[in-house]
Structure 1
Amino acid sequence: MFAFCSDSAVFARTTMRRLLLLLLGLWEAQSRAPSRPNFVLIVADDLGIGDPGCYGNKTLRTPNIDRLAEEGVKLTQHLAASPLCTPSRAAFMTGRYPVRSGMASQTRIGVFLFSASSGGLPNTEVTFARLLKDQGYATALIGKWHLGTHCHNNTDFCHHPSSHGFDYFHGLPVTNLRDCKPGAGSVFTQAVRVLVLAPLQALALALVTLGALRWLGLLPVPGVVFLVLLLLAAALLGLLLCFLHFFRPLNCFLMRGRAVSQQPLSYDNLTQRLTADAARFIRRNAERPFLLVFSCIQVHTALYASKDFAGKSKHGAYGDAAEEMDWGVGQLLNVLEELQLTNNTLVYFTSDQGAHVEEVTPKGERHGGSNGIFKGGKGNNWEGGIRVPGLLRWPGVLPAGVEIAEPTSNMDVFPTVAKLAGSPLPEDRIIDGRDLMPLLRGETQRSEHEFLFHYCNFYLNAVRWHPPNRDHAQSTSIGRNEGRSEGAIRTHHSVCKAVAAMPVNI
């Protein structure tokens, strides 16, 4: 009996000791693990929802984007807040419709085209980068910004990423345009023809007509009139030549922080350079929580690809650029895996708007992507202009291989990221985005968005309504914009179309 009790006591003590050691190990592991996730937010430029393989494309090779869908959640009704770069990115950064922040233009030009533009994302707006920086996150934006730089002079940097919560910036302060790449054509051709060439032709006609009348003796035209007309023609021609000569160096350049690092921009290995810098940022901050916004330059025109990708796709220059962009996504995923950060990093992939289906080179080659079955594209509020890829991966937290067909918005990233980082949302303004986590984790089956509004610049153009008692959302036009799309330059300048005359199920 005594031996039995003794053995039982030894067994109990041993078991208790093992349990204590196990609990201690779990506590130490928990204390070593970061309490908040890292964020890698990848935004493609002008990538259509019909381009990635995970959304049905059978010929473009996008294995790394597809990997995010396989290992995470795929949103099939993910919507950009605007079909144009600048307002869409403003909504993404702030979680608010661009009309609330003043980033919805009241003119035909809906985006920033020049580095000297005085407009930009107001300092009164709160970005998710600013919230996370206040929570101790390292923050970086690498790639395209397109939300302004200066207010009053070239030293205030009031709209620069560093004024909106980003510790580190390396990329384009404005955007990538065909005018930035020699031989790629110009988005300003039509505007130049209207603003400069037409007046030049009128002046030339006036000179010839007046000269003929004077020579025939029908009208005594003073010589000073010819001189004035010649000076006007020379001034217009000089203006045209100056614009064409100086646009590239003055508007197409890279910045690192607040300093210009390359002017004019060189496309040689550009994706490799930016991707390598993004990987270095992750490595530098592997021991602390970080936010990386990797804002891809591709696949906006001017299209480019390094020698490893040029001519390798089945879709010409556009396919080459898309496949190189996918490679960059894979490099970032590999770095996370190498540093054992995969399970503690939320990766999000999207595009700022739909593919620019009307983009055609001077030689007639199509340089726009695919919006799949959806009508329209960049620059209009048809479904193809605003429905974009939406992929989220966080192993162990989000389910793998799940599709969600509820209406969601790129504005939803703001409250989702803020809440996961432990930051309260600003209480002095309306936040239009909704926390995605309950929907992503299957805790609810319906999106919190009953309505999603779509603007053509400043004007309400369409609305998506998801009635509480119905399974399908509906889209309907609010008011027709009488403007019409007239090719690349017009589309760049945001001439939108109404989405439909009658409600349609989505």
Structure 2
Amino acid sequence: MAQANAAERPNVVFILADDLGYGELGCYGQSKIPTPNIDRLAAQGRRFTRHYTGAPVCAPARCVLMSGKHLGHAEIRGNLQAKKNFPQFNEGQHPITEGVVTLAEAFKEAGYATGAMGKWGLGPVGSTGDPNKQGFDLFFGYNCQAVAHSFYPRYIWRNDEQIEINPNPIPGHRKKPTGEVKLEDYQAEQYAPYLMIDEAEDFISKHKDDPFFLYLAFIEPHVAMHPPEEAVDRFPKDWDNEAYRGQCGYLPHPRPRAGYAAMINDLDRYVGRVMEALEDAGVADNTIVVFTSDNGTTHPGVKTTHFHIGGVDADFFNSTLDLKGWKGSVYEGGLRVPMIVRYPGKVDAGSTSDTPGYFADWFPTLADAVGLKKPDGLDGQSLWPAITTGKDGGERKPMVWVYPEYGGQVAVNFGHMKVLRRGLKRKNPDPWEVYDVVKDRGETKNLAAEHPELIERAAKLLKEQTDENPLFPLTPPTFERSAASE
């Protein structure tokens, strides 16, 4: 696509939720939590039913998104604190290197103003992974995922400057085994997410006359769960008959179901404010808006409680609908995420697509959409034909996941069919599994015995598509036809 004149080039707003499950939006089947603004986004654009993250947890998903490289080639394949290998940093995750060409850098090179608000997770301030060194003119929010466990932190970052917002911060982790759990014990002066949406509105206003790329990596509904009381009070008191005491990590909460719903409802309100800011700036119809999530909802905690990590009650909200697995898993519940694109005049309103795609596709997709220069070696393929016409652009490349955490897992998606294997770092790995994720999206029937040729193909592809990575080591498993369940 030839690069258009600056005045004609569309803006791009990419909204990334954090740990939002496939079934936690009204337009994807959620019945308890109101999400009118995201539902309106779907009504005005195209909703995708088979979109996948690049990884089942935070940092590697963001690396795949920003680099266009799948997990077999991405530098970051797990969550790793920077201080483990760079003791000079006391926060932040292991940095991507200077050689990584990010989506933000491609936008900047094309003359776009670039801004990021929310959570980064790809390298501390001052490292090679610093967002200002990876293409963003402005970064405002949490550089470090661990700091983002608190919604009332002592400070957040504006580029390389720490901005103190809470003299009496609330840590993201605490337990209260006995006694009354009080909401006010976990509240402080300034709720960080509200400052980030303010900053996003300001960025849109300031850059309304220039093309811009705005990356909004909001932190909801990732735990800890401590939204303001006003947000919690939007939801029925009779939902909760049991306080969460922090037994599955993060902060206690007196009304965990209401608290979790409040976080998702707040996320929806941010989307409404973004759309209103685009309207006020007069650029809503010339802006591509993408909404998705970095992985599925949080997984179960200790066996003695129904609560998931951080107090989430995923069963109450039917957070994954009928999908199997959670965050941290290469089953559909960990990888399949909501995805909506709005772009009036180019994307049909109220449309739906079952075209499969994943985070590695966003670099080539947005490059095609606005005329960015594509670096060599991208693993994804453009979804722009599917986004604009509802039809795919030809044969789908296999989608690849090489994930060394949560026991070591790999997966390959061949259109309708998905091959996976788990427990690869355990003494006795789980057997191969094969599912038809169109006919059986709940992954209830393992077809491995019927499809040894698919397993053989997946094992060969994984070997070819996995670079050695000493930071995140995982050797792809082999397969012998005579041992389908080795």
Whole-angstrom distance in 2 between the partners of 1:361 and 1:165: 44
Alpha-carbon distance in structure 1 between the residues aligned to 2:409 and 2:380:
18
- Cα deviation, residue 454, structure 1: 1.8
| Structure 2 counterpart of 1:254, from 138, 142, 156 | 156
1:114-164 deviation per Cα after TM superposition (whole angstroms, max 9, x unaligned): 6446721111111111011111111000000011115xxxxx332110010
Change (3 A) 1:309 1:434: same
Post-superposition offset of 1:88: 0.3
Is the aligned partner of 1:92 residue 2:28?
no
Please name the residue that 1:317 is paired with. 259
Query: Which residues in structure 2 correspond to 1:389-400 (within 5 Å)?
Result: 389-400=338-349
Matches within 5 A, 1:366-385: 366=308, 367-368=311-312, 369=314, 370-385=319-334
Report which of the two has the higher share of helix. 1
Query: Do the aligned partners of 1:85 and 1:111 also contact (CA within 8 Å) in 2?
Result: no
Q: Where does structure 2 lack aligned partners over 5 or more consecutive residues? A: 84-89, 171-187, 237-256, 439-486
Match of 1:205 in 2: none
- Asked if the contact 2:105–2:134 (Cα under 8 Å) also holds between the matched residues in 1, the reply is yes
DSSP-derived class of the 1:61 partner: coil
User: What is the deviation of 1:312?
Assistant: 1.8
Q: Is the 8 A contact 1:138 1:167 kept in 2?
A: yes
Which of 160, 164, 173 matches 2:130?
160
**Which of residues 57, 62, 74 in structure 1 aligns to 2:35?**
62
Q: Check 1:101–1:477 CA distance in 2 against 1; reply closer, same or farther (3 A cut).
A: closer
Q: Which structure 1 segments of 5+ residues have no match?
A: 1-29, 151-155, 183-247, 467-472, 485-496
**Structure with the larger RCO, 1 or 2 (CA within 8 Å, 6+ apart):** 1
**Per the alignment, in what secondary structure is the counterpart of residue 60 of structure 2?**
helix
Contact residue 138 and residue 288 of structure 1 kept, 8 A: yes
Aligned to 2:50: 77
1:128 corresponding residue in structure 2: 103
For the residues of structure 2 that align with 1:179 and 1:405, how far apart are their CA atoms?
34
Paired residue type of 2:259 = A
Separation (CA, whole Å) in 2 of partners of 1:86 and 1:139: 20
Q: Distance in 2 between matches of 1:181 and 1:169?
A: 17
Report the alpha carbon displacement of residue 298 of structure 1 after superposing the two structures with TM: 1.1
1:233-256: CA deviation from partner (whole Å, max 9, x where unpaired)? xxxxxxxxxxxxxxx86xxx4111
Aligned to 1:303: 225
Q: Which residue number corresponds to residue 215 of structure 2?
A: 293
1:475-486 equivalence runs, <5 A: 475-478=418-421, 480-481=423-424, 483=426
User: 1:329 corresponds to which residue?
Assistant: 271
Q: TM-score under structure 2 normalisation?
A: 0.72
C-alpha separation in 1, matches of 2:59 and 2:76: 7
Identify if the C-alpha distance between structure 1 residues 443 and 375 changes in structure 2 by more than 3 Å, giving closer, same or farther. closer
Q: TM-score, normalised by structure 1?
A: 0.69
Return the alpha-carbon distance in structure 1 between the equivalents of residues 278 and 385 of structure 2: 25
Name whichever of 366-375 and 345-354 sits farther off.
366-375
Which residue of structure 1 aligns with residue 293 of structure 2? Answer: 351
Contact (CA 8 Å) 1:101, 1:122: kept in 2 or not?
Answer: no
Q: Which amino acid aligns with 1:44?
A: A
- Mapping for residues 164-203 of structure 1, pairs under 5 Å: 164-176=134-146, 180=150
Distance 2:302 2:105 in 1: 39
Q: Deviations over 1:417-463 (max 9, x none)?
A: 22223222113xx2112111111222734664231112223866111
The structure 2 residue matched to 1:283, chosen from 179, 198, 205, is: 205
Q: Relative to 1, partners in 2 of residues 1:505 and 1:275: Cα closer, same or farther, differing over 3 Å? A: closer
Cα 1:361–1:347, aligned 2, differ >3 Å: closer, same or farther? Answer: farther
Which residue, 138, 143, 148 being the options, matches 2:118?
143
The question of whether the paired residues in 1 share the 8 Å contact of 2:114 and 2:214 is answered with: yes
2:449 maps to which residue? none
Aligned-partner Cα distance in 2 for 1:474–1:273: 43
Counterpart contact for 1:36–1:420, Cα < 8 Å:
no
Task: State the Cα deviation string for residues 250-302 of structure 1 (Å, max 9, x = none).
Answer: xxx41111011127656633222110110000000000000110110111111
User: Residue in 1 aligned with 2:433?
Assistant: 501
**Size of the alignment, in residue pairs?**
379
Letter in 1 for 2:418: S
Counterparts of 1:74 and 1:443, CA distance in 2 = 10
Are the aligned partners of 1:354 and 1:378 in contact in 2 as well (CA < 8 Å)? yes
Separation (CA, whole Å) in 2 of partners of 1:448 and 1:165: 32
Is 1:463 the counterpart of 2:445? The answer is no
Name the structure 2 match of 1:441. 388
**What is the SS of the residue equivalent to 2:229?**
coil
**Per the alignment, do residues 465 and 285 of structure 1 end up closer, same or farther by CA in structure 2, a change over 3 Å counting?**
same
Structure-2 change in CA distance of 1:54 and 1:124 (3 Å): same
**Secondary structure in 2 matching 1:170:** strand
1:42 is aligned to 15
Aligned partner of 1:413 in structure 2 is 362
Q: Distance in 1 between matches of 2:327 and 2:10?
A: 33
Cα gap change, 1:376 to 1:307, in 2 (>3 Å): same
Q: Secondary structure at the match of 1:261?
A: strand
Partner in structure 2 of residue 453 of structure 1: 400
The one-letter amino acid of 2:201's match is A
Give 1:474's aligned residue: 417
1:169–1:257 contact (8 Å) kept in structure 2: yes
Taking structure 1 as reference, are residues 278 and 447 closer, same or farther at Cα in structure 2, changes over 3 Å only?
A: farther
Q: Whole-Å Cα distance in 1 between the matches of residues 204 and 437 of structure 2?
A: 42
Partner secondary structure for residue 433 of structure 2: coil
Letter in 1 for 2:112: Y
Label 1:181 to 1:373 Cα distance change in 2 as closer, same or farther (>3 A). Answer: same
Deviation at 1:505, TM superposition (A): 3.6
Shift in CA distance, 296/505, structure 1 to aligned 2, threshold 3 Å: closer
Aligned residue for 2:225, secondary structure, equals coil
% identical equivalent positions: 28
RMSD (Å) for aligned C-alpha atoms: 2.9
- Say if 1:448 and 1:160 are closer, same or farther in 2 by CA, change over 3 A: farther
